[in-house]
Amino acid sequence: MNFRRTLIAGATAAVAAAAFTVALPAAAQTVLKAADVHPPGYPNVVAVENLGKKLEAATNGKYKLQMFAAGVLGSEKEMIEQAQIGALQIARISLGPMGPVVPDVNVFNMPFVFRDEAHMRAVIDGPIGKELLDKITASPARLVALGWMDSGSRSLYTKKEIKTPADLKGLKIRVMGNPLFVDTLNAMGGNGITMGHNDTFSALQTGVVDGAENNPPTLFTANHYTTGVKFYTQTTHLIIPEIFVMSKVTWDKMSKDEQALVQKFAREAQLEQRALWDKSVAEYSTKLKAAGIQFASVDKKPFYDATAPVRAKYGAQYADLIKRIEAVK
């Protein structure tokens, strides 16, 4: 009898426990939509995807990142707008389209503001880089700046050989959507035409533009090298870091511990992307040369001198900051 009572009691308790377990709602998973105009496998895309995997593991699946690469969610300008209202959670953005939203970043958008890529990295890794990230976060843009990413140096790729600013006369060159870049290309002798990254291939193919300016990985992965472009003229007139941001709408819903995790993994993503970037530049430069693209070195001084009015126009308000940038070794 005692055994029967014990058995019944045990069974009752088991059923109750099971009922309680079933009644518990499953932990809600928050999907973080991330976007980039570059294709899957691109260094920036891979680094953000790995950030998402780390965050998912560290939060026991509470957050799961879903990457939308290759510009499927629109241009970078559109990605910024989506992130501002919380429709997009993470975006990797070029500083060109960010300039009109947060003007302070235009100091990095000016032509020849960095001596070389090593100088740029020293600046963004130091106090100046942190100050600008903090300014973006503190601005009314409703974006939280997570970190920097490399995009190397931007040079001209055209169907016609370019050796001096005079060779650019009459040529329409695609630039990112920022008046500063239009003025830069115009000063260099060409005609700067703004358009989204995803529109550039067809514009090159149909002759709407005569060339563009970007880095070797983009020239290859965007298939721009197949449009009749023959020359990659290494003016390196722009050395612009990029940023990845989180929507403040999303950020404000996270706990302090979760925000700290995002910041930790963002720093790791920045360093990971840099290593991937250096490898990709070497690999894609080799592929471009094999495809017949001619890499040409030029005397940069005429291009530097030609863009002096652009630095004077846009740099006056950042005179002290530019001096600090120049002083970084």
pLDDT tens column, 173-232? 999 989 999 999 999 999 999 999 999 999 999 999 999 999 999 999 999 999 999 999
Distance CA 182, CA 189 (A): 11
| Matching fold, domains 27-150+241-285 and 153-239+291-327 | yes
- Residue 19: the pLDDT is 34
pLDDT number for residue 27: 56
Q: Whole-model pTM?
A: 0.86
The encoded tokens of residue 48 equal 């953000």
Task: Please report, for the chain, the start and end positions of each structural domain, with discontinuous segments joined by +.
Answer: 27-150+241-285, 153-239+291-327
**Secondary structure string (H, E, C) spanning the chain:** CHHHHHHHHHHHHHHHHHHHHHHCCCCCCEEEEEECCCCCCCHHHHHHHHHHHHHHHHCCCCEEEEEECCCCCCCHHHHHHHHHCCCCCEEEEEHHHHCCCCHHHHHHHCCCCCCCHHHHHHHHCCHHHHHHHHHHHHCCCCEEEEEEECCCEEEEEECCCCCCHHHHCCCEEEECCCHHHHHHHHHCCCEEEECCHHHHHHHHHHCCCCEEEECHHHHHHCCHHHCCCCEEEEEEEEECCEEEEEEHHHHCCCCHHHHHHHHHHHHHHHHHHHHHHHHHHHHHHHHHHHCCCEEEECCCHHHHHHCHHHHHHHHHHHHHHHHHHHHCC
pLDDT in tens, 101-121: 888 899 999 999 999 999 999
Question: Was domain 153-239+291-327 assigned CATH 3.40.50.300?
Answer: no
The CATH label, of 3.90.230.10, 3.40.190.170, 3.40.350.10, 1.20.120.530, for the domain at 27-150+241-285 is 3.40.190.170
- Low-confidence stretches of the chain (pLDDT < 70) are 1-27
Six token digits for residue 38: 């570059």
pLDDT score for 316: 93
Return the pLDDT at 5: 41
Q: Output the pLDDT for position 25.
A: 38
Predicted local confidence at residue 26, as pLDDT: 42
Looking at residue 99, its pLDDT comes to 87
